[in-house]
Amino acid sequence: MIQTIFTQPFLDQQPGTSGLRKKVSVFQQSHYLENFVQSIFDSLKGFEGKTLVVGGDGRYYNRVAIQIILKMAAANGFGRVLVGHDGILSTPAASCIIRKNQAFGGIILSASHNIGGVKGDFGIKYNIGNGGPAPESVTEAIFAHSQTIHTYKILTAPDADLSKVGFSKLGDLAVEVIDSVNDYAQLLESLFDFDRIRELLTNGRFRLCIDSMHAVTGAYAHRLFEQRLGASLGTVQNGESLEDFGGGHPDPNLVYAHDLVARLFGDNAPDFGAAFDGDGDRNLILGRHFFVTPSDSLAVLAANATLVPAYRTGLAGIARSMPTSQAADRVAAHLGIDCYETPTGWKYFGNLLDDGKITLCGEESFGTGSNHIREKDGLWAALFWLNILAVRQQSIAEIVQEHWHTFGRNYYSRHDYENLESDRAHALMDNLHGILPTLKGKQFRSQQVSYCDDFTYTDPVDGSVSSHQGIRLGFTNGSRIIFRLSGTGTQGATLRVYLERYEQNAAYHQLDPQVALRDLIDIAEEVAQIRTFTSRATPTVVT
């Protein structure tokens, strides 16, 4: 029986850069999740009888939320739902399945790299028919509906059995529980030279370490690396997906992936290490005693793309988020292709990919991807690197250092000030906005400001405009400082400060980035008065 439930709006359901993220306890409020799901459906047209993809990263509340979504999809007129086995789908896998099945769209349950568990975070986002995150026009419509909602529809029925692959019915809705890994693994196998990678991993000399951080990629990594590519058992660590991620923070950076970092920088270190986040779309790439920044990773993948079967004919173009370093721009110029600068948020790459303007894209926040799906893809990035290593027969450090010798090095770092009081963080940004008109031409230590603005992006495909995307200070020597407030947290505010300096002279390519960027770090403090506004002497995380 379909029920119509009366409700009242929640005023805090504005989606961020990656959907709606809140504490689990917020989503557990009566009607909270239901209101947002109904707002998604109310903002869409023409889905009656169509296919919806549903899955999540396995964090706490995932199973409960999926049952609610299935019953609401049945009540609202969807014809079929494809749902991952046990409710599990990585974000890249969900994008793959939406595209392969020409689904109307998908609902992905994840708070990405945020903490999980009963007291942790939860998230939900809608992906459109191209497999990518909903554009602003859709998320704004969802939010508008959430502010006026008074009823939602849900089917009264027993829960669907998600423990077995197969078919069932919820009212008139066909529910198909699918293997969470198969379609995605087949797609990856079509892109890379698996035979050559397998030869590398089984030659007895190359050692690999994969850290799934007790998040969604465990099953995917076991299937791909240990079963398909022949890596030894135990290569995949923390491979059991847990609702609280084992008490860890599933963010693949130098701070939270500390066990992997210690191993790759320790004695008798493996040749290659990779870690992935909660929903599998972010990646950390490490060589023996060597960290590859996400910005450098995008640039190196682009420069070596023709070594990989899927990209052998070359790249149409590259895109990067505005705060990501300009290393990829130099590769694009060398290749004679365009490089697009977009706001932070993977949704901004969708139009460029769909229009064939770009092949590769990436963000400094440990995300890289290509036109094979419409999400960033952690396992894809690791396989791309392994394919390059298998062909070039060099270490990661050798490949990156040769890249610097050819293109120069873009020294780069991000300083995060997490869990700030929101009013203090916004006061800092308001102050920066106020002084922007006075900064052009000013001299700070060895740097002179050549431009300063609040980044605005005009989409070259549909002409849509996105403003207030981050404050940029550019200097006459090409260095940059960028200030943004993050849209991925669930409490307080996170200030991100991005620092970049280009160095062409190979004699200066081995500096510690924090040393190479010291002037910019000091200038950022002087200009933004970070300590004054936040009462923080140091950042929480430095990457």
- DSSP assignment string, 295-329: HHHHHHHHHTGGGSGGGTT--SEEEEETTS-THHH
- What is the number of other CB atoms lying within 10 angstroms of the CB of residue 460? 13
Distance between CA atoms of residues 95 and 110, nearest Å: 14
What is the distance of C-alpha 524 from the center of its chain? 26
Name the one residue in this structure whose structure tokens are 């889905």: 47
- Tell the burial category of 188 from Cβ atoms under 10 Å away from its Cβ (0-12, 13-18, 19+): buried
Please give the structure tokens belonging to residue 226.
């240990």
Per-residue exposure over 156-167, b if at least 16 CB sit within 10 Å of its own CB, e if not:
ebeebebeeeee
Angle of the 182-191 helix axis to the 378-392 helix axis, nearest 10 = 30
Distance between CA atoms of residues 71 and 168, nearest Å: 13
Distance between CA atoms of residues 33 and 27, nearest Å: 6
- Given a contact cutoff of 8 angstroms between Cβ atoms, the answer to whether 298 and 341 are in contact is no
- Given a contact cutoff of 8 angstroms between Cβ atoms, the answer to whether 157 and 170 are in contact is yes
- Given a contact cutoff of 8 angstroms between Cβ atoms, the answer to whether 350 and 133 are in contact is yes
Going by C-beta distance under 8 Å and a sequence separation of 6 or more, which residues neighbour residue 202? 230, 231
Distance between CA atoms of residues 300 and 282, nearest Å: 17
Strand duo 151-155 + 121-127: pairing? unpaired
Our answer to whether residue 112 is catalytic in this structure is: yes
- List 18, 90, 95, 112, catalytic entry: 112
Enzyme catalytic residues = 112
